[in-house]
Structure 1
Amino acid sequence: MDSHKIGTDPPEPPAGAPRQPPARQVPEGCLVVAIRLPARVVALVLVLPLRMAWDALVAGGRLLTRTVLRPAGRASLWIARALLVWPFVGLWRYVVDPLGRALSRLGRVLVAVPLGCLHRYVLTPLGHALIWLYARVLTPVGHGLWWALRGAGAGLAAAGAGVAAGVAWLVRHLVVVPARWLHEWVLTPVGRAIAWCAAGLLRGLRLAVTGAGVCLCRVLRVLLVPPALVLWRWVLVPAGRLLAVTGREAGQALGHAWRVAGRVSLAVGRALGALLRWIFVEPVRWLHRSVLTPVGQAVRDTVLRPAAEAARGAGRAVRSALAAARESVRQARADVRRVLFGARPEPVEAVDRREPVGRAARTLGRSTTALTKD
């Protein structure tokens, strides 16, 4: 259990490093001293079982991770790779990729090349012909029609301007002038009167609300502020200080108890490890070293090796007997074949007569023969 790594005291500075002067001790009150010792005792009693259980869980988790979860994860990863990755890789490499290349070549041959020929030899000449038709035929016809329509539009515009001027004069004298008179002599005075009345009403409401607010503020100040000040000064501030001291001491007690529990848990773990080693491991080791190993060696030397030698000798005897039996069967078959079909003719051995063959023979242009060449 690695409980000494969690919640231990900070490491001491190296020998060569300059030491800082000790912090100035702040005098503590009797309340702090009265709270500290019981809080530390209670925290130690409560934290020690939790710390030992935590260290046991940590050690068990590490053992479980090392012996079960990590091998299971590796096996799961290998199975997932074998079931999910490798089939898709093989499918892509041996099916999808060749099929895609074949479809690409087929599309290029069946689609791209015909479309290119269509664009080059049909659409391009047709487009040039349409451009010539637009530039040489349709454009002059369109300009002529435009000049004709513009002349007709100018006449219609002049007639429309006269009609619009008459309509504008009628609208001005029948609508605009009466509306202006109504706004100037009726609506403006009425609106100003309404605005003056609304301003007076708002001013009165503002004065009433201000007076009521001042009165209410003075009443609340007399009735609420002094009791609140007394409550804050003589109740809440002391209670807050007491809670702060209690919380600080409780936190320090918990930290101290956690560190002490770590050391106790480490000592208990080491004691349990030593006890298990002396109860189980050492007897098993002694039994293996002093009993099982000599017994195994004796069994090996007195039983297993002679048995192995006997088995090897029996195997050799069986193999030699099988070889002799096969040889006897072979001779019997040869005798039966000789009786039924006669003896085979003996092969004639070739005799080397030292006769020259090919280029090794003597010619008219050489002074050596095949026998005196070497």
Structure 2
Amino acid sequence: MCMVDLEKAPGANPQAEQGEPVRRSDAEGCLAVAIRIPVRIVVLVLVVPVRMVWDVLVVAGRFARDTVLRPVGRALGWLARAVFVWPLVAAWRYVVVPLAKGLGRLGHVLLVLPAVWVYRWVLTPVGHALAWCGRGVGAVFAAVGRGLYTGLAWLARYLVAVPAGWLYAWVLTPVGHALAWCGRGLLWCGRGVARGVGLAVTGVGVVLYWIVRVLLVLPALALWRWVLAPVGRVLAVVGREVWDALGHAWRIAGYVSRAVGRFLGTLFRWIVADPARWVYRSVLTPVGHAVRDTVVRPLAEAGRSAGRAARQALASAWLSVRQARADVRRMLFGEPAEQRPAVRREPSAAETRTLGSSTTALTKD
């Protein structure tokens, strides 16, 4: 009944929601209709325990994550920070960085400043002198090189270029024409031979094609058309039905597992949670309030009073120490000199400037 109701539910078929044509059982063939109900019953019987075990494992995993793994992870993270991160940060901040700064300043004083002085007052003048000498030597070598280049160019022209041009024009060109004529003749003969070989190869290829077609292609095509394709269609129908049955069984098992979980949760609430809540509200809370009012608050008030008295005693002792220190300083060094107030050049608030009076020497009455 559950499977029939799920199949007839308006939201159970996603193809109908998407506007696609719904597959009918009479259009799928007798094989699909014959194996659908047995396969779904068998799959449902097999999947329900698996789904219930899966839901139990999920709940147990979430409980372990929230109550065990997450607090342990936070504690391990804090421990790792206390053992590794904070010492490394302190070592980096208070050891490595000051040491690196000191080494940097020492290297600047011992290496950079001497290197800059050597570069500025030794290497730069020597480099300028070498550059001036190099420019003079380069000019001399350039003049000698231009003369040598002119002489070698004249010798190469009359000893190499002119004889090579004569050899190319009167020897190599006639020989090349003769060789080209011979090559054209050999090419024509080769074309005839290649045409004959091509005809022979074509005939052999046609014969091999028909042999392969008759002995391999046609039997393979018949095997695919009359054996493999029908078997593949049957296996596809069986696989599709098994997949659909797994989906329906998984959803039904989810409903069953949810109902069992709700029943167990309600039973746990009735047996454990509600009595514990009643004990907490009716017994532990009044007892806790009574302990707080009769024990904790008086102890806290006594502690605060003792703290105030201790702070007052410490303040009095500190005031006595300051007075004694001031008396000792006065006995050793005498009274401190009084500071005279600085003479202000600007008029005070009682002697402000007005339109009828002036403080300058030229306009003063």
Q: Letter of the 1:27 partner, please give it.
A: R
Structure 1 match to 2:98: 98
Structure 2 match to 1:214: 206
Alignment of 1:243-254 (within 5 A): 243-254=235-246
Task: Indicate which of 24, 29, 37 corresponds to 1:27.
Answer: 24
What is the CA distance between 1:270 and its match in structure 2? 2.4
> 2:259 aligned with 1:259, yes or no?
no
> 2:108 aligned with 1:108, yes or no?
yes
Judged with a 3 Å threshold, the aligned counterparts in structure 2 of structure 1 residues 182 and 112 are, in CA distance, closer, same or farther, namely closer
What is the CA distance between 1:147 and its match in structure 2? 4.8
Give the Cα–Cα distance (whole angstroms) in 1 for the partners of residues 157 and 217 of structure 2.
82
Give the Cα–Cα distance (whole angstroms) in 2 for the partners of residues 124 and 283 of structure 1.
95
Q: Letter of the 2:24 partner, please give it.
A: P
Give the Cα–Cα distance (whole angstroms) in 1 for the partners of residues 148 and 277 of structure 2.
122
Corresponding residue SS for 2:25: coil
Judged with a 3 Å threshold, the aligned counterparts in structure 2 of structure 1 residues 278 and 235 are, in CA distance, closer, same or farther, namely same
What is the CA distance between 1:260 and its match in structure 2? 0.3
Provide structure 2 residue ranges, at least 5 long, that are not aligned to the other structure. 1-8, 300-365
Q: Letter of the 2:25 partner, please give it.
A: E
Give the Cα–Cα distance (whole angstroms) in 1 for the partners of residues 87 and 101 of structure 2.
20
Judged with a 3 Å threshold, the aligned counterparts in structure 2 of structure 1 residues 147 and 229 are, in CA distance, closer, same or farther, namely closer
Judged with a 3 Å threshold, the aligned counterparts in structure 2 of structure 1 residues 124 and 220 are, in CA distance, closer, same or farther, namely closer
What is the CA distance between 1:289 and its match in structure 2? 8.1
> 2:164 aligned with 1:172, yes or no?
no
1:123-146 deviation digits (Å, cap 9, x = unpaired): 444555556x549xx63x765675
Q: Letter of the 2:243 partner, please give it.
A: G
Give the Cα–Cα distance (whole angstroms) in 1 for the partners of residues 19 and 161 of structure 2.
103
What is the CA distance between 1:113 and its match in structure 2? 3.0
1:80-100 deviation digits (Å, cap 9, x = unpaired): 212221112111111122122
Alignment of 1:287-298 (within 5 A): none
Higher Rg of the two aligned structures: 1
Alignment of 1:43-122 (within 5 A): 43-122=43-122
Give the Cα–Cα distance (whole angstroms) in 2 for the partners of residues 113 and 119 of structure 1.
10
What is the CA distance between 1:172 and its match in structure 2? 3.4
What is the CA distance between 1:52 and its match in structure 2? 1.1
What is the TM-score of this pair, normalised by structure 2? 0.58
For the aligned residues, what is the CA RMSD? 4.7
Corresponding residue SS for 2:205: helix
Residue range with higher mean Cα deviation, 111-120 or 122-131:
122-131
Equivalences, count: 278
Percent pairwise identity: 49
1:15-45 deviation digits (Å, cap 9, x = unpaired): xxxx979876543224332221111101101
Corresponding residue SS for 2:24: coil
What is the TM-score of this pair, normalised by structure 1? 0.57
Give the Cα–Cα distance (whole angstroms) in 2 for the partners of residues 257 and 33 of structure 1.
17
Judged with a 3 Å threshold, the aligned counterparts in structure 2 of structure 1 residues 184 and 58 are, in CA distance, closer, same or farther, namely same
Alignment of 1:287-326 (within 5 A): none
Task: Indicate which of 266, 274, 296 corresponds to 1:274.
Answer: 266
Provide structure 1 residue ranges, at least 5 long, that are not aligned to the other structure. 1-9, 13-18, 313-374
Give the Cα–Cα distance (whole angstroms) in 1 for the partners of residues 221 and 151 of structure 2.
93
What is the CA distance between 1:163 and its match in structure 2? 4.6
Corresponding residue SS for 1:208: helix
Judged with a 3 Å threshold, the aligned counterparts in structure 2 of structure 1 residues 45 and 142 are, in CA distance, closer, same or farther, namely closer
Give the Cα–Cα distance (whole angstroms) in 2 for the partners of residues 91 and 207 of structure 1.
88
Structure 2 match to 1:338: none
1:239-271 deviation digits (Å, cap 9, x = unpaired): 333333222222111110000001111122223
Corresponding residue SS for 1:201: helix
Give the Cα–Cα distance (whole angstroms) in 1 for the partners of residues 204 and 141 of structure 2.
84
What is the CA distance between 1:236 and its match in structure 2? 4.1
Give the Cα–Cα distance (whole angstroms) in 2 for the partners of residues 256 and 239 of structure 1.
26
Judged with a 3 Å threshold, the aligned counterparts in structure 2 of structure 1 residues 20 and 219 are, in CA distance, closer, same or farther, namely closer
Structure 1 match to 2:36: 36
Judged with a 3 Å threshold, the aligned counterparts in structure 2 of structure 1 residues 182 and 27 are, in CA distance, closer, same or farther, namely same
Q: Letter of the 2:78 partner, please give it.
A: W
Residue range with higher mean Cα deviation, 205-214 or 75-84:
205-214
Q: Letter of the 2:246 partner, please give it.
A: L
